[in-house]
Amino acid sequence: MNTTVTEPKDLETTQPDQRETPLESLASICSVLAVGLFVMTFIFQNFEIPSASMVKTLLIGDHVLVDRIALAPPAKWAPFTYYRDVRRGDVIVFLKPGEPDLFLVKRAIAIPGDRIHLRDGIVYLNGVAQNEPQAGKPLVDDNPQHAYNPYRDDFPSVPPGPYTDVTASWQIELPSHVEGEDLVVPPGKIFAMGDNRTESLDGRYWGFVPRENIVGRPMFVYWSFETPADQINKQSVGERIAFMGHILIHVFDQTRWKRTLHLIR
């Protein structure tokens, strides 16, 4: 019996071409971008700290990653996601009341139903003086911002003077929330202040934070760069480009490496 031997075909002719087409490559890139955009829009978001209102907790030039899920209203389509309400002491990111395009970072001091007042810069929450080692207190020194300020440091017992930075709407609304010596937080609102109490334009000056304005809570500092306090006022194209160049030159020697992955509490 004759046996026919079949020669194996060349592997290159038997296997299909595995190379991606340009259209497939584009689809892959778009998928990655779409997932990244979703994550950075709805789950996490990065913010830069532009002012000294939260010193010592947050420094000018800190770049923080914000959790946008935990403090968001619960969603029925994602029952597996962890949600919780705002707690006293939370550091929160929110849209400033009356300025929907401006994000602020402050600490939640009081929640609905709480009674709060300040005496000599000390916070009294529901009648109890609070121990806040992270909070700046008024001092008698050469810095006029640290000197005692009646409206700021004995809030809300002293009415705002003509030269305080209190919004007109808050001047009208404030008396309706004062009972005795306390400010009473209404339902659906949060009272927030900066940790750097002598330099923070916070709830004392513009009122309560509506619950729906709260975007999330910063989790940690992922990068921190030494930034001048007046950089926030330099918004022209030329000034921004100049500072970007400054960062490129000094990224190694002016990065605060010790703050990398610093947890925010």
* pLDDT recorded at residue 4: 47
* Residue 31 pLDDT level (bands cut at 50, 70, 90): low
pLDDT digits (tens, 9 = 90+) for 230-255: 999 998 999 999 999 999 999 999 99
Q: Is the pLDDT of residue 97 over 90?
A: yes
pLDDT digits (tens, 9 = 90+) for 44-57: 789 999 999 999 99
* pLDDT recorded at residue 11: 47
pLDDT digits (tens, 9 = 90+) for 102-125: 999 999 999 999 999 999 999 999
> What's the CATH number for 52-225+257-263?
2.10.109.10
Please, what is the average pLDDT of the chain? 86
pLDDT digits (tens, 9 = 90+) for 131-188: 999 998 887 666 777 788 999 999 999 998 887 899 999 999 999 999 999 999 999 9
Greater confidence (156 vs 3) lies with 156
Q: Report the amino acid identity of residue 230.
A: D
* Residue 25 pLDDT level (bands cut at 50, 70, 90): low
Give percent of the chain above pLDDT 90.
Answer: 67
Give percent of the chain above pLDDT 70.
Answer: 80
Task: Provide the whole-model pTM.
Answer: 0.81
* pLDDT recorded at residue 21: 74
* pLDDT recorded at residue 3: 47
